[in-house]
Chains A and B, each alone.
Chain A
């Protein structure tokens, strides 16, 4: 029965409550002067790590929060530490250049450095909705992956994780080390209390660059354009099923 060292992924994204707009150049969503916060699924991941420690206090020896992104990403690392992470690592790189594969490679480099035996990521970031980083990381590491986790149980060195799948719930077992990605119903994250916010100030935060880790983050995907969805057209009411069918045929839906 080994010590559990948890690495949690944190991404700084536009806050979920913000009404987003496409920028003037139509290349990306406008991020200037827009409220950002910790990706909600990553918040759930941090919360799960802290809860695992609460359930197995003698076994969890380290919870590290890791974020790849611009200088401001340090903010979400402070939030993670205020929630209970022991220390943080910030890989500083331009947000616009980072894509799931390069992030997964950066994570792999940190995993090789820090040697955690459990990596918990949010299932996807709410800005790009890629849902790839966790899976790619597991592939690069050669570790088992359990995605969309809605319940995590650890017994000795074995994981028992319930996943939410289209047909219902699926329970998988795996050995450590493993990668888990957190889904919405895994837990309800705590608010950072003021005493913990103050304690987080003293927790260590280390910064690296991709060069320090020997990772090439050259983007492999190019975003051609970003546009808003077409505005909602008004509908019309129909009087009977026959009229409905004929209208649907008219617009070519049938």
Chain B
């Protein structure tokens, strides 16, 4: 079996040996083992992935669904829901067991984000940032000291956030001006970050600051900052969508950060930021496909009940064709997302595919949510029904973690290598 696998999936074996065990999905479905030469479809999940997906779906439906509208109206995350996310073990999905996590696959995280988004995209992004940005940065670049100290906290009780953007630095992230001045054995952070997801609830901040502005982006360094070292949360944005997810301005005024809290290597922060955002965008793609599916799942049952001109409106061919088109696009977006996730698991290059997944998923989500409102007609437009929220939530998909224009440029740049 191993010889056969080695010839077909060399990268997987390499990674499998490094990790100490082969990716579980290859032993999950008995028909894979029996049909020699078969490559599992992207619908194949390991048993744990399937169980996690079902468990998160149940949790979302029973615990989160009743509170979605209230959290949206109050623009506030219910602390019980946050506690529930930690209790379900989905705030440390890939984190190694020795650091308090579940040591599951990347796709497990993607599935959790997707299932949460079907019910509430706000909750989904909280789980996404924690897993695909914060945890992964610690796991990849953190010293043993930082990993041992913070990963268990992030897995069990503390929210983390990713502080890169500023008022003058969004897509042009390297134009950031938050400073980190080196003193004896510590740094002093000064500056202001903007648009930071999770910041209101966060206790651990991953802050990108420049230790030497004259060096340009090569001075950008990532710091691990604890809330009670003087981080102040300023303006909480009032938003169009994902309102239960906090988005705030975060201020640093001579915040003292010990030297050991530099994440990775000084001056390499720019590299970490780019790399982590490449992975993070697969997470956003997952949020978007969950959103699209949630909108569809909410609208369609209504259309099979609502009658006009003597029949349920869902049975008109015009409607049927629209359903089919949207469902096809959601499936395509889902496959792009899952494939990017599996490529990453396999250790293969995935930057282009991740950008494609995020770009396309955000477009599909916007369209699906928009159609869902239309299909439900007047009631779809009211706040009494959940679809209008999906419509509002969808817009952010084209904006955060790399705007759609950035994704297009990224894809084109990689493509040009083959054709220039």
Chain A residues within 8 Å of B112, by CB? 194
- The stretch that binds B, out of A45-53, A75-83, A100-108, A131-139, is A75-83
Residue of B87, B97, B102 most packed against chain A (CB within 10 A):
B102
Are A197 and B52 in contact, with the CB atoms below 8 A? yes
Interface residues of A in 148-172 (CB under 8 A from B): none
Are A192 and B87 in contact, with the CB atoms below 8 A? no
Are A191 and B102 in contact, with the CB atoms below 8 A? no
Are A194 and B89 in contact, with the CB atoms below 8 A? yes
- The stretch that binds A, out of B32-40, B53-61, B335-343, is B53-61
The one of B50, B54, B62, B89 that contacts A195, using a Cβ cutoff of 8 Å: B89
Are A194 and B54 in contact, with the CB atoms below 8 A? no
Chain A residues within 8 Å of B59, by CB? 191
The answer to whether the Cβ of A99 comes within 8 Å of any Cβ in the partner chain is no
Given the known A-B contacts A193-B88, A193-B89, are A37 and B54 also in contact in the complex, defined by CB atoms under 8 Å?
Answer: yes
Interface of A is mostly: helix
Chain A residues within 8 Å of B87, by CB? 193
CA distance A201 to B97 in the complex (A): 14
CA distance A16 to B87 in the complex (A): 25
Chain B residues within 8 Å of A198, by CB? 48, 97, 102-104
Are B88 and A79 in contact, with the CB atoms below 8 A? no
The answer to whether the Cβ of B355 comes within 8 Å of any Cβ in the partner chain is no
Binary contact readout A72-99 vs B (1 if CB under 8 angstroms, 0 otherwise): 0001001100100000000000000000
Chain B residues within 8 Å of A195, by CB? 89, 102
The answer to whether the Cβ of B136 comes within 8 Å of any Cβ in the partner chain is no
- Closest Cβ of chain A to B13, distance in Å, is 21
CA distance A70 to B58 in the complex (A): 25
Are A194 and B47 in contact, with the CB atoms below 8 A? no
Count class of interface residues, chain B: 20 to 34
The answer to whether the Cβ of B108 comes within 8 Å of any Cβ in the partner chain is yes
The answer to whether the Cβ of B274 comes within 8 Å of any Cβ in the partner chain is no
Binary contact readout A184-196 vs B (1 if CB under 8 angstroms, 0 otherwise): 0000000111111
Residue of B51, B87, B93 most packed against chain A (CB within 10 A):
B51
Are A194 and B108 in contact, with the CB atoms below 8 A? yes
Count class of interface residues, chain A: 10 to 19
Interface of B is mostly: helix
CA distance A78 to B299 in the complex (A): 34
- Closest Cβ of chain B to A19, distance in Å, is 10
Given the known A-B contacts A198-B102, A198-B103, A198-B104, are A191 and B48 also in contact in the complex, defined by CB atoms under 8 Å?
Answer: no
Are A197 and B55 in contact, with the CB atoms below 8 A? yes
The answer to whether the Cβ of B71 comes within 8 Å of any Cβ in the partner chain is no
Residue of A191, A192, A196 most packed against chain B (CB within 10 A):
A191
CA distance A79 to B52 in the complex (A): 10
Chain B residues within 8 Å of A194, by CB? 52, 55, 88-90, 93, 102, 104, 108, 112
Interface residues of B in 51-102 (CB under 8 A from A): 51-52, 54-55, 58-59, 62, 87-90, 93, 97, 102
Chain A residues within 8 Å of B55, by CB? 82, 191-194, 197
Chain B residues within 8 Å of A193, by CB? 55, 87-89
Chain B residues within 8 Å of A200, by CB? 51
Chain B residues within 8 Å of A71, by CB? 30
Are B102 and A192 in contact, with the CB atoms below 8 A? no
Q: Which residue of B lies closest to A79 (CB)?
A: B51
Are A75 and B88 in contact, with the CB atoms below 8 A? no
- Closest Cβ of chain B to A203, distance in Å, is 13
Q: Which residue of A lies closest to B88 (CB)?
A: A193
Binary contact readout A49-78 vs B (1 if CB under 8 angstroms, 0 otherwise): 000000000000000000000010001001
CA distance A35 to B100 in the complex (A): 32
- Closest Cβ of chain B to A12, distance in Å, is 13
Binary contact readout B88-128 vs A (1 if CB under 8 angstroms, 0 otherwise): 11100100010000111000100010000000000000000
The one of B47, B90, B104 that contacts A75, using a Cβ cutoff of 8 Å: B47
Chain A residues within 8 Å of B102, by CB? 194-195, 197-198
Q: Which residue of A lies closest to B100 (CB)?
A: A195
Chain B residues within 8 Å of A191, by CB? 55, 58-59, 62, 88
CA distance A194 to B87 in the complex (A): 9
CA distance A197 to B104 in the complex (A): 10
Q: Which residue of B lies closest to A82 (CB)?
A: B51
The one of B48, B58, B90 that contacts A201, using a Cβ cutoff of 8 Å: B48
Chain A residues within 8 Å of B103, by CB? 198
Interface residues of A in 107-147 (CB under 8 A from B): none
Chain B residues within 8 Å of A82, by CB? 51, 55
Q: Which residue of B lies closest to A192 (CB)?
A: B55
Interface residues of A in 190-214 (CB under 8 A from B): 191-198, 200-201
Chain B residues within 8 Å of A78, by CB? 47, 51
The one of B48, B62, B97 that contacts A197, using a Cβ cutoff of 8 Å: B48
- Closest Cβ of chain B to A17, distance in Å, is 9
Q: Which residue of A lies closest to B47 (CB)?
A: A78
CA distance A194 to B30 in the complex (A): 23
CA distance A230 to B103 in the complex (A): 51
CA distance A78 to B48 in the complex (A): 9
- Closest Cβ of chain A to B99, distance in Å, is 12
- Closest Cβ of chain A to B26, distance in Å, is 15
Q: Which residue of A lies closest to B58 (CB)?
A: A191
Chain A residues within 8 Å of B108, by CB? 194
Q: Can you report 19 residue pairs joining A to B where beta carbons are below 8 Å apart?
A: A71-B30, A75-B47, A82-B51, A82-B55, A191-B55, A191-B58, A191-B59, A191-B88, A193-B88, A194-B88, A194-B93, A194-B104, A196-B89, A197-B51, A198-B102, A198-B103, A198-B104, A200-B51, A201-B48
**3 nearest A-B residue pairs (beta carbon):** A194-B89, A194-B102, A193-B89
Q: Which B positions have Cβ atoms within 8 angstroms of A?
A: 30, 47-48, 50-52, 54-55, 58-59, 62, 87-90, 93, 97, 102-104, 108, 112
**Could you list 15 further interchain pairs (A-B, Cβ under 8 angstroms) beyond the known A195-B89, A198-B104?**
A78-B47, A191-B55, A191-B62, A192-B55, A193-B88, A193-B89, A194-B52, A194-B55, A194-B89, A195-B102, A196-B89, A197-B51, A198-B48, A198-B97, A201-B48
